[in-house]
Structure 1
Amino acid sequence: MSFIRKFYVADTHFLHSNILSLSRRPFRTIEEHDEHLIQQWNAVVGPTDTIYHLGDFAFGLNECADKIRWIFSRLNGRKYLVIGNHDLRHGELHPTIAGLPWAARPEGFSFAEDEDNKLVLAHYAQREWQWMHKGGYHFYGHSHGRLLGIGGSRDVGVDMPDVRYTPCTFSELTEMMK
């Protein structure tokens, strides 16, 4: 029996050159940024591990579809997407994102269990969530560190100082909350 680890990440914004200044990412070029994120991802996520991406996977979905598919193919793990605002076109899942071989159909939010804990996964922070008062957790992205978590919630975006552009496990993320 093999052991499958679970990881969480948000806001990779692959190919989004403006994200470098918008969220003060310390990279000179978007190519350097993207390669660093791919390297960090594959350093921790194995081919059979599960990874939940909580939105805003990539940018330039119309003009960069081939590059997005190439980046996706280089990333380890069984990948699940919780849809973010940059994953949409006219309110619907963008065809480039929809066409990637996700482990399941991307959804607006998702439920998961990890280390006997219940999680609510969303791109946007929620101030109330299922199991909040029973020890459940809520992981989100979108805010790029501008919105502090409350109780068992936290931003898991790559640009959070304690995340360091690397997907993290439940234990790592909750330890960082203490």
Structure 2
Amino acid sequence: MSFFRKKFYVADTHFGHDLMLTRPGRPFSSTEEMDEALIDRWNAVVGDNDIVYHLGDFAMGLADEDRVSGVFNRLRGSKVLVLGNHDFKRPNVLHPTLARLDWMTSPSATVETTDEGHRVFLSHYAHRVWPGCHKGSFHFFGHSHGNLPAIGRSRDVGVDCSDIAFAPKTFAELTQGML
């Protein structure tokens, strides 16, 4: 049996993070409302066989493993974690709650993939240069919550960006006007 897998990209969901409620553009009255909206929007576009590259800062309150795994298990698709600053228990040590989740591959600091025939470099952090940037590759990042302008073929894919609208996006959606 063969099936078509779409690829999606997103960053900075910060599931369960109270501080995110104070960010401009996050119109939620509670973390529960925010989490439910993020889950609903994710599942509205991602299919069970799709892949979602999450570019860091998946959740906060990682000590509540049942809550974090409950959110993770409700999200459709296979998930790849590119590590963000809030994904660690301490420097260079992935939080055990995240380590126990069923990621498609082991979480890592950067990932490279191809999408629609284009090379794509993924990192939680924005890079001024990235592998293949002088040869037409793309770079998707998070961390900046929509506050850092793109350089060349790079862009923020965090849920706070107005065109992301709290849902994972495809390569075509993210690169519209960049090709």
TM-score normalised by length of structure 1: 0.97
Structure 2 residue 122 is the aligned partner of structure 1 residue 90: no
Deviation at residue 145 of structure 1 after TM alignment: 1.1
Q: Which runs of 5+ in 2 are unaligned?
A: none
Tell me the SS of whatever aligns to 1:111: strand
Instruction: Give distance in 2, aligned partners of 1:12 and 1:36.
Output: 11
Deviation at residue 2 of structure 1 after TM alignment: 1.4
Give the direction of change, closer, same or farther, for the CA distance of 1:40–1:176 in structure 2 (3 Å limit).
farther
Which position in structure 2 is the counterpart of 1:173?
A: 174
Question: RMSD in angstroms over aligned alpha carbons?
Answer: 1.1
Instruction: Look up the equivalent residue of 2:86 and give its one-letter code.
Output: H
TM-score normalised by length of structure 2: 0.96
Q: Deviations over 1:120-160 (max 9, x none)?
A: 00000000001101110000000001111110000000010
Which position in structure 2 is the counterpart of 1:148?
A: 149
Q: Deviations over 1:151-170 (max 9, x none)?
A: 00000000100000010000
Tell me the SS of whatever aligns to 2:161: coil
Instruction: Give distance in 1, aligned partners of 2:122 and 2:82.
Output: 7
Give the direction of change, closer, same or farther, for the CA distance of 1:4–1:19 in structure 2 (3 Å limit).
same
Q: Is the 8 A contact 1:154 1:177 kept in 2?
A: no
Which position in structure 2 is the counterpart of 1:67?
A: 67
Equivalent residues in 2 for 1:19-168, closer than 5 Å: 19-62=20-63, 64-91=64-91, 92-168=93-169
Give the direction of change, closer, same or farther, for the CA distance of 1:154–1:163 in structure 2 (3 Å limit).
same
Which position in structure 2 is the counterpart of 1:11?
A: 12
Q: Deviations over 1:17-69 (max 9, x none)?
A: 1111035411111111000000000000000001100000000111x211000
Instruction: Give distance in 2, aligned partners of 1:176 and 1:159.
Output: 20
Instruction: Give distance in 2, aligned partners of 1:40 and 1:146.
Output: 22
After superposing on structure 2, the runs of 4+ consecutive aligned residues of structure 1 that deviate more than 3 Å are none
Instruction: Give distance in 2, aligned partners of 1:53 and 1:65.
Output: 19
Q: Is the 8 A contact 1:141 1:157 kept in 2?
A: yes
User: Which moved further from structure 2: 5-14 or 19-28?
Assistant: 19-28
Instruction: Give distance in 1, aligned partners of 2:101 and 2:144.
Output: 25
Instruction: Give distance in 2, aligned partners of 1:167 and 1:45.
Output: 8
| Count of residues paired in the alignment | 177
Tell me the SS of whatever aligns to 2:112: strand
Q: Which runs of 5+ in 1 are unaligned?
A: none
User: Which moved further from structure 2: 129-138 or 168-177?
Assistant: 168-177
User: Which moved further from structure 2: 26-35 or 15-24?
Assistant: 15-24
Q: Deviations over 1:61-111 (max 9, x none)?
A: 11x211000000000001000000000011110000111010010000100
Percentage identity across paired residues of the two chains:
53
Q: Is the 8 A contact 1:8 1:54 kept in 2?
A: yes
Instruction: Give distance in 1, aligned partners of 2:88 and 2:164.
Output: 25
